[in-house]
């Protein structure tokens, strides 16, 4: 009879001891293929609200806590989709395949003819190519179009959680209105974002439905301003820093490769936030 041995931590090899060779084998033989890094471009290059952008980044990694992912972590429970109550819940079902979600998409896009992509990374990465509009030099129009999958997925997730945790339900019409309202309000904060090229009548009508205060004048695009959440955080930080009555030094540096071109710079700020010295 074998003696009782206490459990202990060990590496998943025969010896149970970690070595660099064993670690390298584990990395090179893994079946998990990371997503194409270029697909993140349309998440971060067209920022909306930080919480929504981060949610979409998590969604593209298939790391949101849908019931199939919870089951992988050993958490068993009801697995039906709370939106349609028929199929098993997964990220792709919840966002693209669920009949409830597809009705929301048709309402937001105002078209039943457009075929949705077959997976979420493709949805986020190639959405601009599916636009019925010419987006060249139409920066506000392009941003509005690219935000549609972000805000739609976010509100579908919000509705899913409300049904599960609050026992509250909205019909598809209300969710469509919420998506358009949130998208329009967020676009309205982008005061520096304008179309450089003129839009046609269909594009004007579509955009004005989203942003009632939209100014159709075509002027060269200015630098987009930070959204209202970031702006509020910056103002709070400035107030806090000014109350201390001290000077502050901010600096950074970078190098191109090892022992190659290097650079650095910084700024010293007065207590009121004005610049005292710049250097590089």
pLDDT tens profile 94-111? 999 999 999 999 998 876
CA separation for the pair 222, 182 (Å, rounded): 23
At 66, is the pLDDT very low, low, confident or very high (cuts 50, 70, 90)?
very high
The answer to whether 252 touches 72, Cβ cutoff 8 Å, is no
Give the chain's mean pLDDT: 79
* C-alpha to C-alpha distances, 87 to 152, 163, 167, 193, nearest whole angstrom: 20, 16, 19, 42
Task: Kindly report, residue by residue over 230-259, the tens digit of the pLDDT.
Answer: 555 566 666 666 666 777 777 788 776 666
Region 221-232 average pLDDT? 46
pTM: 0.66
Q: Checking phi first, is residue 62 left (phi over 0); if not, alpha (psi -120 to 50) or beta?
A: left
């Amino acid at each position: 009879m074998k003696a009782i041995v206490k459990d202990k931590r060990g590496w998943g090899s025969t010896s149970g001891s970690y070595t660099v060779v064993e670690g390298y084998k584990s990395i090179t033989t893994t079946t998990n293929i990371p997503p194409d890094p270029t697909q993140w471009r349309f998440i971060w290059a067209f920022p909306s609200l930080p919480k929504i952008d981060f949610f979409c980044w998590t969604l593209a990694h298939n790391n949101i806590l849908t019931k199939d992912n919870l089951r992988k972590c050993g958490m068993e429970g009801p697995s039906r989709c709370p939106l349609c109550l028929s199929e098993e819940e997964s990220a792709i079902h919840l966002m693209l395949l669920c009949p409830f979600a597809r009705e929301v998409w048709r309402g937001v896009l105002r078209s039943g003819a457009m075929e949705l992509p077959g997976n979420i990374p493709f949805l986020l990465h190639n959405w601009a190519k599916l636009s019925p509009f010419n987006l060249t030099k139409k920066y506000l129009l392009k941003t509005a179009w690219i935000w549609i999958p972000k805000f739609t997925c976010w509100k579908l997730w919000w509705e899913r959680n409300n049904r599960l945790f609050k026992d509250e339900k909205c019909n598809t019409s209300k969710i469509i209105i919420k998506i358009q309202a949130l998208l329009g309000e967020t676009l309205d904060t982008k005061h520096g974002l304008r179309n450089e090229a003129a839009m046609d009548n269909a594009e004007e009508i579509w955009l004005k439905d989203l942003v009632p205060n939209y100014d159709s004048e075509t002027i060269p695009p200015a630098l987009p301003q930070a959204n209202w959440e970031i702006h509020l955080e910056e103002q709070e930080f400035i107030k806090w820093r000014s109350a201390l009555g001290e000077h502050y030094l901010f600096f950074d540096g970078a190098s191109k490769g090892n022992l190659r071109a290097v650079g650095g710079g910084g700024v010293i700020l007065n207590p009121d936030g004005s610049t005292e010295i710049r250097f590089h």
